[in-house]
Amino acid sequence: MSAELFSLFYQFADVFAFLILSAAGLAIVFGMMGVINMAHGEFIMCGAYVTVGLVNLGVPLVIAQILAALTAGLIGVAVEFLIVRRFYKRPLDSLLATWGLSLIVTQSMLLIVGSAVRGIGTPEGSFAIGGYTFSSYRLVLFGCAVAVLAGLYIVFMKTRFGVIARATMQNAAMAKALGARTGRIYAISFGIGTGLAGLCGALYAPTMTLIPTMGATFVVESFVTVVIGGANVLLGTAPAAVFLAVIRMTLNASYGQIIGQIGMLFAVILIIRVLPEGLSSVLVRRGR
Amino acid sequence: MNSGRMLGMAVLSAVLGATALCAAQAAEPLKVGLLEDVSGDLAFMGMPKLHGSQLAVEEINKSGGILGRQIELIHLDPQGDNARYQEFGRRLLNRDKVDVLIGGITSASREALRPIVDRTSTPYIYTNQYEGGVCDASMISMGAVPEQQFSTLIPWMVEKFGKKVYVIAADYNFGQISAEWNRKIMKDLGGEVVGEEFIPLGVSQFAQTIQNIQKAKPDWLLTINVGAAQDSFFEQAAAANLNLPMGSSIKVMLGFEHKRFKPPALNNMHATANWFEEIDTPEANDFKMRWHAKFPDELYINDMGYNAYNALYMYKTLVEKAKSTKLDDLRKVIATGDACIDAPEGKVCIDPKSQHTSHRMRLISVGPKHEVTVEKDYGTIQPYWLGQIGCDLTKKNDKDQYTPSHLPSKS
């Protein structure tokens, strides 16, 4: 019985980690600046490729993953400065611009790096409970997802940068009038967002096949999580991930992956119909 | 100065035009239309297919072409999108007026193309192993089919590992029909399918699937998952220490997972194949040498790429025997049963009834260090199933795809 219970928790943790890690970066960028980053998947891919490249050069996995997230973050800052900055008043155009960027990056990677890269293998370690065996690395992923949520909470709620960032998010013009350098806040937020995307790629790199279009496998999940979460990303993302993870895990376990995916997307449609502002709108109302 | 240059240009273009005209009179090139994904999710499989076609075209052109005509290869990249397959297929058939159409990766893309090809009188060559059953006079299939792959592999797996199998299959026609084949063969063997899971394309997370498998306690797994995302299953199963024997009709020789994943993720994988790069015969080694000389960066020469290479030589043989490029004339050659080539695997021939190709089949397994060993050599196996159930393209063009549960109506 305890094996079944642990199995349930493990599956929930696995889906939850996937949703949080793939959505966190997108949520920050969308929530902070209203920009829908269509190149989100490519930043995930970037994190994965840098990780694998560094590991092949002999860098230990954990350090490679940290460096990969930093690389994606720095590239994000550069992309914000060169492209996204010019589109803050034109959200639809920013969507197109980042989508174009994603196409260019995917195709360039295919031409430069090739169609497939040899994987590095998941760190060893598995354990058995009852008749089931589990990979320890999946629990590390869950730990990282929780750490990302905690880290975001601390950065945005407990630091001076966080206060200014939230002020910019609520009313950019007023924040600017009060002396906040909103341009820099935007650049840093975009960098944090893409850095988190890079972290997602870095963490999943050992468990997956690396191809230039790999970001696409994360994109659907990340978008639906952000959409369900709603406008206030700091409040909405975690409950959205819990909600979707429970639905997906239950359906996956009883009816297989197809029904799991259909069910999750169906739940998304329902939520958007009932709560157009997402889960965070309910939480914000409660909070008041 | 200016007028002098103009004059020079005019003379030059006149000369060029004249030579082009002469060449055209000598022989129009034969146009070969090729549809292969070299971008998108399946690019890593499609790239060797393009390379195989390019290598064959280069060799054939160097040795004088087909009936003295050079081959012009027109390759378009449908990027894994079935709508683009149809659009580009129409363009090659109607605008470029190709003499033959080759290509398609997934069975979905083939079925998207087939109705368009059927409206023309252009031959179409499909170069993948697939789930079998297409009885269509316009199509020639160069790859292996279930009677060559599953009727060999599944009995061997049952004998060696046991009667309980769990199936993980991609959720589209290839996976569904292959799973049907497995059900039929397992039933005939008195085996049991303890679980079947169909996975939507693009899914990359398998923790739940791994537990479903452990719950069902199979003796071995049939893995017919497709694409880079679904291949992540192997890494995740290895990390969770699933440790079950696996069999497949597409792993190793097609997706070269043993080269893409770190050992031992593919340990204990078994497959039946007409080609894999590890084949060690003088003909195969010679072929591999030529390939790697032209494409030194190729990670692996997969069976699709190899079949794509053979397709052009088969086409050359057909056209030279028929002394024509017309589909009807080529089919007359096929009907004689003499449509054979000496391929790197050995002699392969097109079966007149089904227009599918005979193959020398070998059962291979992958070891803990991802070394490939040949377990069993079945010799040449004919693509007999379609003929047995009543498809005879020399008499009737069904234009249909049959499966064990969809057989030709008795008339």
Q: Does B368 touch chain A (CB under 8 A)?
A: no
What pLDDT is recorded for position B24? 44
Nearest by CB: A214 against B203, B212, B228: B228
pLDDT in tens, A6-44: 999 999 999 999 999 999 999 999 888 888 899 999 999
The span from the CA of B166 to the CA of B223, in Å, is 9
Tell if the CB–CB gap between A11 and B207 is shorter than 8 Å. yes
**Other CB atoms within 10 Å distance of the CB of residue A151:** 14
What is the least distance, in Å, from the CA of A190 to any CA of chain B?
Answer: 27
Q: Does B81 touch chain A (CB under 8 A)?
A: no
What is the least distance, in Å, from the CA of A90 to any CA of chain B?
Answer: 30
pLDDT in tens, A228-237: 988 777 788 9
Mean pLDDT value across chain B: 92
Q: What residue in A sits closest to B227 (Cα-Cα)?
A: A209
What pLDDT is recorded for position A1? 67
Which amino acid is present at A150?
A
Q: Does A119 touch chain B (CB under 8 A)?
A: yes
Which one-letter DSSP state was computed for residue A70? H
What pLDDT is recorded for position A171? 87
Tell if the CB–CB gap between A256 and B200 is shorter than 8 Å. no
What are the C-alpha distances in Å from A209 to residues B218, B233, B305, B379? 26, 9, 21, 34
Beta carbons of B225 and B166 less than 8 angstroms apart: no
Nearest by CB: A211 against B41, B200, B263: B41
Tell if the CB–CB gap between B198 and A126 is shorter than 8 Å. no
Beta carbons of B162 and B176 less than 8 angstroms apart: no
What pLDDT is recorded for position A199? 97
Tell if the CB–CB gap between B240 and A128 is shorter than 8 Å. no
What pLDDT is recorded for position B23? 46
| pLDDT beyond 50 at B255 | yes
Residues of A in contact with B260 (CB under 8 A): 116-119, 209
The mean pLDDT of B369-394, rounded to a whole number, is: 96
Q: Does B47 touch chain A (CB under 8 A)?
A: yes
The span from the CA of B101 to the CA of B32, in Å, is 6
Mean pLDDT value across chain A: 91
What is the least distance, in Å, from the CA of A127 to any CA of chain B?
Answer: 8
What percent of chain A shows pLDDT beyond 90?
A: 64
| pLDDT beyond 70 at B411 | no
Exposed, middle or buried by CB within 10 Å (0-12, 13-18, 19+), for B240? buried
Core vs surface per residue A153-180: b (16+ CB within 10 A) or e: eeebeeeeebebbbbbbeebeebeeeeb
Split at pLDDT 50, 70, 90, the class of B21 is very low
Tell if the CB–CB gap between B261 and A121 is shorter than 8 Å. yes
The span from the CA of A233 to the CA of A245, in Å, is 17
> DSSP letters along A130-143, please?
TTEEEEHHHHHHHH
Which amino acid is present at B264?
P
What is the least distance, in Å, from the CA of A76 to any CA of chain B?
Answer: 24
Tell if the CB–CB gap between B208 and A115 is shorter than 8 Å. no
pLDDT in tens, A55-107: 999 999 999 999 999 999 999 999 999 999 998 888 889 999 999 999 999 99
Q: Token match 């430069």: residue?
A: A112
Tell if the CB–CB gap between B236 and A207 is shorter than 8 Å. yes
Beta carbons of A32 and A237 less than 8 angstroms apart: no
Q: Give me the helices (H) in B163-265, please.
A: 173-189, 207-216, 227-239, 257-260
The mean pLDDT of B336-345, rounded to a whole number, is: 96
Split at pLDDT 50, 70, 90, the class of A222 is very high
The span from the CA of B303 to the CA of B228, in Å, is 17
What is the least distance, in Å, from the CA of A109 to any CA of chain B?
Answer: 10
Split at pLDDT 50, 70, 90, the class of A152 is very high
**CA-only gyration radius of chain B, Å:** 23
Tell if the CB–CB gap between A115 and B38 is shorter than 8 Å. yes
| pLDDT beyond 60 at B18 | no
Nearest by CB: B171 against A214, A253, A258: A258
Number of Cβ pairs < 8 A linking chain A and chain B: 136
Split at pLDDT 50, 70, 90, the class of B22 is very low
| pLDDT beyond 70 at B26 | no
3-state secondary structure of A278: coil
**CA-only gyration radius of chain A, Å:** 19
Split at pLDDT 50, 70, 90, the class of B216 is very high
The mean pLDDT of B6-31, rounded to a whole number, is: 57
The span from the CA of B411 to the CA of B166, in Å, is 37
Tell if the CB–CB gap between A131 and B40 is shorter than 8 Å. no
Residues of B in contact with A7 (CB under 8 A): 211
Q: Which of residues 123-142 of A touch B (CB under 8 A)?
A: 124-126, 128, 131-135, 137-138
What are the C-alpha distances in Å from B31 to residues B7, B92, B325? 35, 9, 10
Pairing outcome for strands B340-343 and B346-349: antiparallel
What is the least distance, in Å, from the CA of B262 to any CA of chain A?
Answer: 5
Split at pLDDT 50, 70, 90, the class of B123 is very high
Tell if the CB–CB gap between B239 and A137 is shorter than 8 Å. yes
What is the least distance, in Å, from the CA of A111 to any CA of chain B?
Answer: 9
| pLDDT beyond 60 at B312 | yes
What is the least distance, in Å, from the CA of B381 to any CA of chain A?
Answer: 33
pLDDT in tens, A97-136: 999 999 999 999 999 988 888 889 898 889 999 889 999 9
Residues of A in contact with B241 (CB under 8 A): 126, 128, 133, 135
What is the least distance, in Å, from the CA of B255 to any CA of chain A?
Answer: 10
| pLDDT beyond 50 at B225 | yes
pLDDT in tens, B262-305: 999 999 999 999 999 999 999 999 999 999 999 998 999 999 99
Q: Which of A115, A132, A218 to mutate to test the interface with B (most CBs of B within 10 A)?
A: A115
pLDDT in tens, B146-159: 999 999 999 999 99
Residues of B in contact with A213 (CB under 8 A): 40-41, 43, 228
Tell if the CB–CB gap between A120 and B241 is shorter than 8 Å. no
